[in-house]
């Protein structure tokens, strides 16, 4: 696989997860979110997998590894956020963690775009 293909795949995955986090954050802040929402469940699965060594897909693992390198959050913190998303127990820690994740994804998206020589969308 060429570097361009690898960065392109990572770029698309980061973009996908960034959109997912944004969607979940907006719905939480607008009080239109519930644990049954598909996007909330998908994000919860992704975050709880941070604390696991088992991954369904390689691109998700790459994004998680990239985020773990630059985050002060421990794996258990992401697992806590993921579990909270599956419940009605959304506190300030959960919202602040998701905002931090959104910012980290945005930064990684810009870095990956720069490496590819494209403008971030």
Q: What is the pLDDT of residues 46-100, one digit of tens each?
A: 888 776 666 666 666 666 666 666 566 666 788 899 999 999 989 999 999 999 8
pLDDT category at 22 given cuts 50, 70, 90 is very high
Helix (H) or strand (E) holding 22: helix 3-29
Task: Give the chain's end-to-end CA distance (angstroms, integer).
Answer: 24
The residue with tokens 């607008």 is 30
pTM: predicted TM-score of the whole model, two decimal places: 0.78
Residue 38 has pLDDT above 70, yes or no: yes
């Amino acid at each position: 696989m060429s570097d361009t293909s690898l960065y392109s795949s990572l770029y698309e995955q980061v973009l996908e997860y960034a959109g997912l986090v944004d969607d979940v954050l907006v719905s939480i802040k607008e009080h239109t979110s519930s644990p049954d929402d598909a996007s909330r469940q998908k994000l919860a699965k992704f975050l709880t997998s941070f604390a696991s060594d088992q991954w369904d897909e390689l691109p998700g693992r790459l994004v998680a590894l990239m985020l773990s390198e630059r985050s002060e959050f421990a794996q258990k913190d992401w697992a806590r956020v993921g579990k909270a998303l599956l419940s009605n127990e959304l506190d300030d820690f959960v919202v602040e963690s998701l905002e931090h994740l959104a910012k980290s994804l945005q930064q990684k998206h810009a870095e990956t775009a720069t490496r590819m020589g494209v403008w971030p969308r």
